[in-house]
Amino acid sequence: MNLDRFYPIFDHSDWLRRMLPLGVKLVQLRIKDQADAVVREQIAVSRDLCRAHGAVLVVNDHWQVAIDAGCDWIHLGQEDLDDADLKAIRRAGLKLGVSTHDDDELERVLAMSPDYVALGPVYPTILKKMKWKQQGLPRVTEWKARVGEVPLVGIGGMSVERAPGVLQAGADIVSVVTDITLNADPEARVRAWIEVTT
Compute mean pLDDT per 10 residues along the chain, 198 residues long, and list them. 93 98 98 96 98 98 98 96 95 97 95 96 76 85 97 96 98 97 97 97
CA distance 74 to 63: 6
- pTM exceeding 0.75: yes
With beta carbons less than 8 A apart as the criterion, state whether 179 and 157 touch: no
Residues annotated catalytic, as ranges: 30, 99, 128
Domains and CATH numbers, the chain: 6-197 (3.20.20.70)
Closest to 150 (Cα-Cα) out of 2, 23, 6, 7? 2
CA distance 159 to 156: 9
